[in-house]
Structure 1
Amino acid sequence: MPTQMQRPLLLLPFFLTSLLLYCQPISTVASPDPTFSPSNGTDYIRSGCGATLYPEICYASLSRYASAVQNSPGRLARVAIKVSLLRTSHMAAYVSNLSRQSDFGADNRAAAALHDCFSNLGDAVDEIRGSLKQMRQVGAAGPSTESFQFQMGNVQTWMSAALTDEDTCTDGFEDVGDGEVKTEVCNRAADVKKLTSNALALVNSYAATGTP
């Protein structure tokens, strides 16, 4: 079994593969609607983002996908999950690189904190990826309310777990002295958590509609 120190080296190709497999252009989420107005789509996204804890970040990260979202709460939630997956994967790759460099440094506590952070981010990527896969299957079994609630329950559980793992990522830095690496990792982790939090809020809003 790979040791904690080897895990970043072994899993980095996985994250790069994940980006290729799961982060295709988001514009392909929905077919163009000739009657759709992009301005209506951005208005819809701004309104939907009102249900999140960070509405301005939500709108800034999703408004460019108005033509894909149109006026669909399901598409909005799916796009938000996809953006969260992309950013979390990038964060994992970034921490992996720092972790490999820290193995040759003198600060063992910082090295351990980076390894732990990477491990948690790896779990978060898996969970968000699972959420996105489930979202793509919502409604495939037909307009069943029971099936919809079951599928959305899975999405909510995985997104909640991902948010917890992202939050835990920086716990190890509490015992690490202030410095550039600690500040940068914690700031980036905070940004990623906000995107995942927003995605979860939009998932919850979609689940509350009760229909696929």
Structure 2
Amino acid sequence: MTTQRFHYLLLSLFLFAAAFSAAQDQAPAPAYDADADADFIRTSCNTTLYPDVCYTSLSRYANAVQQNPAQLARVAIAVSLAKVHRAASHLSNLTRDADYAATARAALALRDCFSNLGDAADEIRGSLKQMRQIGAAGSGGASFLFQMSNVQTWMSAALTDEETCTEGFQDVADCPVKTDVCDRVSSVKKLTSNALALVNSYANKGMP
């Protein structure tokens, strides 16, 4: 190949690359169908016990979920975990207050509830970690079922711990602490229940 011909070939390649790059820059980006993604979350939330709470808490993540049931379940678990952490932090502040409870029974219920929420947080954290491993390369049907069983077991245990927290206040006379704690944990239970329902829905769909 002569030097002149070689230079001509290089110039042709350069012009082709430049033209291709310009065409790529001008190509419209894929349209993001926000309505379809939001509808997916709304439809999925209709399988939960608290669909309005579900949609309100998860619709802001529609762009991240993008009609992926596995991602929706992961986001729901993460939202539940964040809510448990906030509730546990609030209870921790209450237990440090010298006047946090009007009676010894309320004080005991508060401490037990704080312990229950700590256990629930650990279980939800384990569920989230397991969900992030699902669908890894090499995961077979048996592996998927085993991993999903772990997630379902831990989320169910977390919900039980949260329910145990509020049950501990049943024998406590009405007081601001009881109202405050039970209201907060009730919100936590709804998010955990919804997350478990979405996990169950994803598990029923089979392999990722």
| TM, length-normalised to structure 1 | 0.81
1:43 paired with 2:43, answer no
Counterpart mapping for 1:1-212 below 5 A: 34-102=30-98, 107-212=103-208
**Cα deviation, residue 34, structure 1:** 3.5
Alpha-carbon deviations, 1:94-124, whole Å to 9, x = none?
A: 1111122257766211111110000000000
TM superposition outliers: structure 1 runs of 4+ over 4 Å: 102-106
Q: Matches of 1:121 and 1:78 in 2, distance apart?
A: 20
Q: Determine what percentage of the aligned residue pairs are the same residue.
A: 65
Q: Matches of 2:100 and 2:159 in 1, distance apart?
A: 30
Alpha-carbon deviations, 1:117-175, whole Å to 9, x = none?
A: 00000000000000000000001143511111110000000000000000001222122
Q: Matches of 1:93 and 1:160 in 2, distance apart?
A: 22
| TM, length-normalised to structure 2 | 0.83
Greater C-alpha Rg: 2
The answer to whether the 8 A contact 2:100-2:177 is kept is no
The answer to whether the 8 A contact 1:38-1:67 is kept is yes
Once structures 1 and 2 are overlaid, which stretch shifts more, 158-167 or 139-148? 139-148
Secondary structure of 1:101's counterpart equals coil
Q: Matches of 1:61 and 1:139 in 2, distance apart?
A: 25
Q: Matches of 1:204 and 1:150 in 2, distance apart?
A: 13
Unaligned runs of 5+ in 1: 1-32
- Matched residue, 1:16: none
Unaligned runs of 5+ in 2: 1-28
The answer to whether the 8 A contact 2:94-2:100 is kept is no
Once structures 1 and 2 are overlaid, which stretch shifts more, 95-104 or 120-129? 95-104
Counterpart AA for 1:153: S
Q: How many residues align?
A: 180
Q: Matches of 1:41 and 1:160 in 2, distance apart?
A: 27
Q: Compute the RMSD of aligned alpha carbons.
A: 1.6
